Amino acid sequence: MSLVNYATREITCKIVYYGPGRSGKTTNLHYIYGQVPSDRKGQMVSLATQTDRTLFFDFLPLDLGTISGFTTRFQLYTVPGQVYYQATRKLVLQGADGVVFVADSQSRQLAENIESFQDLHANLADHGVDARGVPLVIQYNKQDLPGDLILPVAELEDQLNFRGVPSYSADALHGPGVFETLRGISELVLRRLSPTTAGGR
């Protein structure tokens, strides 16, 4: 899927929220959904189990209106975090213009975070995509939890952000950091609109 369709004058950004299970990807989307005026958002599609675990994926279409003559749309997806939904994750990741890695800040979740982050890179590689070329931001979610339960951002940075991508601390349930993350990834993606910086897209 091409980011810009010059013939129909459309910009479509596919942004995938990736991360381990229960890290808060769907919560991010729900918060955004709640903020968007009704004339701007499409129906949020959520395929969840009875216990609210994402079964397949969540999909939130956002209409940014016409900018410089281009009808601009964002499509926000989440992948199911559980390990056994590997095939679905891979499918959802296909054609992503940008990835938000939602890490769970709880100290006991560190291993899952690392595993999921490696899984992301493996899946991108499977799609024949060089992970270094894909816009990526990291969100350290659940930073609102008591300090003894979570790792400080600096340590998470050490463990996860070896590529030095933009990172944001967030409390997806209540909102702080959610739009900052979205803004961060959107800018990275949109900066690639012009061909020379897009690496030949």
Partner 1 sequence: MPLDPRHRFDSLVIGAGNRLAAAAARAVAEAPATTYNPLYIYGGPGLGKTHLLGAVAELASLLQPDLEIEYLTLDELRARWMMAISTGETALLAQRFDRVDMLLLDDVQFLAGQREAQAELLRLATSLMERGNQLVMTSDRPPSEIAGLDERLVSRLGGGLVVDVAPPDFETRVAILRVVAAERGLSFEPGVLEEVGRVAYPSVRELLGALTRVQAVIAIGERAQAIDVPRILGTHSTPSAPMHRTEARASGTEFESFLSEMQTVVQQQMERWQVRLQESIAYWAGEGYRTAVLERALELPREPDVSGLMATFAAAVEHLRGLATQAAAVDPALGGHAVFRDPERMAEAEDLVEQALQGTTPPGGPSPSFQREGFEVGSSNQLAVHAADAVISEPGRKYNPLLVYGPSGVGKTHLVHAIGNAIAAQSGGATVVACVHAQQLIDELIAAIQGGTVERWRTRYRSAGVLVVDDVQFVAGKERTQEEFFLVFNAMIEAGQQILLTSDRPPAEIPELEARLRSRFEGGLSTPIQSPDRELRERLFARYLLAAGRPTDPSLLRALGEHPIHSVREIAGLVHRLGAAADAAGEPLNATLARAELGLTALDERAPVRRSSQGIGDVAVFLDREKVIWDWPDASARLIEELR
Q: Which is nearer to partner 1, 38 or 50 (CB)?
A: 38
Kindly state the smallest distance separating residue 179's Cβ from partner 1, in Å. Answer: 5
How far from 197 is each of 154, 163, 190, 191, 200, CA to CA, in Å? 30, 19, 10, 8, 8
Q: Which is nearer to partner 1, 69 or 147 (CB)?
A: 69
Compute the distance between CA of residue 197 and CA of residue 23 in angstroms, rounded to an integer.
Answer: 32
Kindly state the smallest distance separating residue 20's Cβ from partner 1, in Å. Answer: 26
Where do contacts with partner 1 occur on this chain (CB under 8 A)? 4-7, 11, 32, 34-40, 64-70, 72, 175, 179, 182-183, 186-187, 190-191, 193-196
Q: For residue 19, how many other CB atoms are within 10 A of its CB?
A: 28
Q: Which is nearer to partner 1, 56 or 179 (CB)?
A: 179
Q: Which is nearer to partner 1, 43 or 50 (CB)?
A: 43
CA 99-152-23 angle, 5° bins: 40
Kindly state the smallest distance separating residue 31's Cβ from partner 1, in Å. Answer: 9
Residue 89, beta-bridge partner list: none
Nearest to 27 by CA among 53, 7, 4, 63: 53
Kindly state the smallest distance separating residue 192's Cβ from partner 1, in Å. Answer: 8
